[in-house]
Amino acid sequence: MNTAKAWCSSLVSWWRSHLLARDGLLALAVIFLSLLFAASPIMGDGFLAPTSRPVAILFGLLLVLPLVIRRSRPDLAANIFVCIVLAQLAVGPTLIPADATGLIMLYSALVYGDRRRSRRYVILAAALVTLESVLYATVNNLGPLSRLGSRPASPAEGQARTPVCQTKPGESIWACGPQIALNLGLGLLSLALLLLLVVFLAFWDRSRKQALTAMRERNAAIEYRQREQARLAASAERARIARDMHDLVAHTLSIVIVQSDAGRYAGTRDPALALRVMGTIRQEAGRALHDMNRLFGSFTDDGQEDTPSAPDSDARTGTGAHTRTAATTGGGRRGHTAGQSHDRRPASGDGSEINAAEYYDGIDDLVRQARQASPGLTLERTVEGKPEPDKLGAKASLAAYRCVQEALSNIRKHAGPRARAQISEHWSSDGLRLVARDDGRGAADALETGDHQGYGLIGMSERVEALGGRMLAGPRPAGGFSVDVTIPLGSGGSMATSAHDGTDRRTDEPVEVTGLVADKGDLERGPGESRNRIERLSAWTAEHYLLVDGLLILPLLLLLTASNATYFTLDANLDSPGRYIPLPAAIIETVCISLPLVVRRRLPNASAALVASVATLELLAVPWIATANTLVLVSIYSVAAYGRGKTRLWVPATLVADLVLLFVRLRCEVRYSSPSILAWVLGDRSGPRAAVNGSPSEVAAALLATTAITCACALVLGLWRRASGSSLILQRERQEALLQGEAQRRRLAANAERARIGAQIQAEVATTLSQVIGRANAGIAMIRKADGQGSGVSPEAIDQAFEEIGRAGRAALARMRQLLDILRQTSSSDASQESKENEPALRLHPVESS
Query: What is the C-alpha to C-alpha distance for residues 635 and 609, in angstroms, rounded to an integer?
Result: 9
Which CATH number does 307-344+353-496 carry?
A: 3.30.565.10
pLDDT digits (tens, 9 = 90+) for 513-523: 344 444 444 44
What local confidence, expressed as pLDDT, does residue 512 receive? 42
Contacts 24+ apart (CB under 8 A), 81-87: 81/105, 82/124, 82/128, 84/59, 85/128, 85/132, 87/59
Query: What is the C-alpha to C-alpha distance for residues 107 and 205, in angstroms, rounded to an integer?
Result: 9
Which segment of 76-85, 122-131, 284-293, 322-331 scores lowest on mean pLDDT?
Answer: 322-331
What local confidence, expressed as pLDDT, does residue 240 receive? 75
Query: What is the C-alpha to C-alpha distance for residues 403 and 434, in angstroms, rounded to an integer?
Result: 8
Mean pLDDT of 608-630: 86
3-state SS assignment for residue 612:
helix
- HSE on the CB side for 598, CA within 13 Å? 12
Most confident of 46-50, 612-616, 682-686: 612-616
Burial of residue 315, with CB atoms counted within 10 A of its CB: 0-12 exposed, 13-18 middle, 19 or more buried: buried
Of residues 427, 450, 426, 438, the one with CA closest to residue 370: 438
Tell me the pLDDT band of 99, cut-offs 50, 70 and 90. confident
Residue type (1 letter), 178: P
What local confidence, expressed as pLDDT, does residue 845 receive? 39
Dihedral (CA of 536, 540, 541, 547) sign? negative
pLDDT at 415 over 80: no
Mean pLDDT of 497-514: 40
Query: What is the C-alpha to C-alpha distance for residues 463 and 396, in angstroms, rounded to an integer?
Result: 8
Which segment of 2-16, 534-548, 727-741 scores lowest on mean pLDDT?
Answer: 2-16
What local confidence, expressed as pLDDT, does residue 123 receive? 92
Residue 484's contacts (CB-CB under 8 Å, 6 or more residues apart) are 433, 434, 435, 471, 472, 473
What local confidence, expressed as pLDDT, does residue 763 receive? 75
Cross-strand pairs, 305: 299
Which segment of 342-351, 476-485, 553-562, 578-587 scores lowest on mean pLDDT?
Answer: 342-351
What local confidence, expressed as pLDDT, does residue 424 receive? 92
Stretch (H or E) spanning 568: strand 567-568
Query: What is the C-alpha to C-alpha distance for residues 514 and 193, in angstroms, rounded to an integer?
Result: 48
3-state SS assignment for residue 579:
coil
Residue type (1 letter), 311: P
What local confidence, expressed as pLDDT, does residue 448 receive? 46
Of residues 204, 238, 34, 47, the one with CA closest to residue 750: 238
Stretch (H or E) spanning 767: helix 742-789
Query: What is the C-alpha to C-alpha distance for residues 565 and 586, in angstroms, rounded to an integer?
Result: 9
Query: What is the C-alpha to C-alpha distance for residues 32 and 119, in angstroms, rounded to an integer?
Result: 32
Tell me the pLDDT band of 568, cut-offs 50, 70 and 90. low
3-state SS assignment for residue 484:
strand
Cross-strand pairs, 436: 423, 483
What local confidence, expressed as pLDDT, does residue 124 receive? 92
Most confident of 30-44, 146-160, 544-558, 744-758: 544-558
- The DSSP symbol for 268 reads G
**Using an 8 Å Cβ cutoff, are 746 and 229 in contact?**
yes
Residue spans per domain, the chain: 16-222, 307-344+353-496, 544-739
Mean pLDDT of 727-745: 71
What local confidence, expressed as pLDDT, does residue 660 receive? 92
Mean pLDDT of 684-707: 75
pLDDT at 528 over 70: no
Mean pLDDT of 815-840: 58
Query: What is the C-alpha to C-alpha distance for residues 624 and 678, in angstroms, rounded to an integer?
Result: 12
Query: What is the C-alpha to C-alpha distance for residues 602 and 394, in angstroms, rounded to an integer?
Result: 48
- Phi, psi angle pair for 692, to nearest 5°: -110, -60
Tell me the pLDDT band of 171, cut-offs 50, 70 and 90. low
Tell me the pLDDT band of 643, cut-offs 50, 70 and 90. confident
Strand order from edge to edge, sheet including 470-475 = 378-384, 420-427, 431-438, 481-488, 470-475
- The DSSP symbol for 599 reads G
Which segment of 49-58, 182-191, 732-741 scores lowest on mean pLDDT?
Answer: 732-741
Cross-strand pairs, 425: 383, 434
pLDDT at 24 over 50: yes
The 10 Å Cβ neighbour count of residue 419 is 22
Residue 256's contacts (CB-CB under 8 Å, 6 or more residues apart) are 281, 284, 285, 288, 772, 805, 809
The 10 Å Cβ neighbour count of residue 369 is 28
What local confidence, expressed as pLDDT, does residue 150 receive? 54
pLDDT at 652 over 50: yes
Which segment of 305-314, 567-576, 581-590 scores lowest on mean pLDDT?
Answer: 305-314
Provide the mean pLDDT of the chain.
73
Which is more confidently placed, 536 or 520?
536
Mean pLDDT of 7-30: 73
pLDDT at 363 over 70: yes
Percent of the chain residues topping a pLDDT of 70: 71
Query: What is the C-alpha to C-alpha distance for residues 204 and 490, in angstroms, rounded to an integer?
Result: 54
Query: What is the C-alpha to C-alpha distance for residues 727 and 242, in angstroms, rounded to an integer?
Result: 47
What local confidence, expressed as pLDDT, does residue 710 receive? 92
Cross-strand pairs, 433: 426, 486
What's the distance, Cα to Cα, between the start and end of the chain in Å?
Answer: 53
Query: What is the C-alpha to C-alpha distance for residues 325 and 395, in angstroms, rounded to an integer?
Result: 36
Residue 106's contacts (CB-CB under 8 Å, 6 or more residues apart) are 78, 121, 122, 125, 195, 198, 199, 202
Report helix angle 583-594 to 604-621, nearest 10: 150
What local confidence, expressed as pLDDT, does residue 383 receive? 92
pLDDT digits (tens, 9 = 90+) for 768-810: 788 888 888 888 888 888 877 777 778 888 888 888 888 888 8
Which segment of 261-265, 399-403, 481-485, 676-680 scores lowest on mean pLDDT?
Answer: 261-265
Most confident of 297-301, 452-456, 485-489: 485-489
Which is more confidently placed, 442 or 97?
97
Stretch (H or E) spanning 470: strand 470-475
**Using an 8 Å Cβ cutoff, are 756 and 789 in contact?**
no
Residue 335's contacts (CB-CB under 8 Å, 6 or more residues apart) are none
Residue type (1 letter), 787: D
Tell me the helix, strand and coil percentages in the chain, rounded to 5: 65, 5, 30
pLDDT digits (tens, 9 = 90+) for 280-335: 888 878 877 787 777 666 443 334 443 344 444 333 333 333 333 333 333 333 33
Stretch (H or E) spanning 95: strand 93-95
Query: What is the C-alpha to C-alpha distance for residues 316 and 308, in angstroms, rounded to an integer?
Result: 16
Report helix angle 795-829 to 271-296, nearest 10: 20
Would strands 481-488 and 503-504 be described as parallel, antiparallel, or unpaired? unpaired
pLDDT digits (tens, 9 = 90+) for 204-225: 888 878 777 777 777 788 777 7
Tell me the pLDDT band of 433, cut-offs 50, 70 and 90. very high
Stretch (H or E) spanning 422: strand 420-427
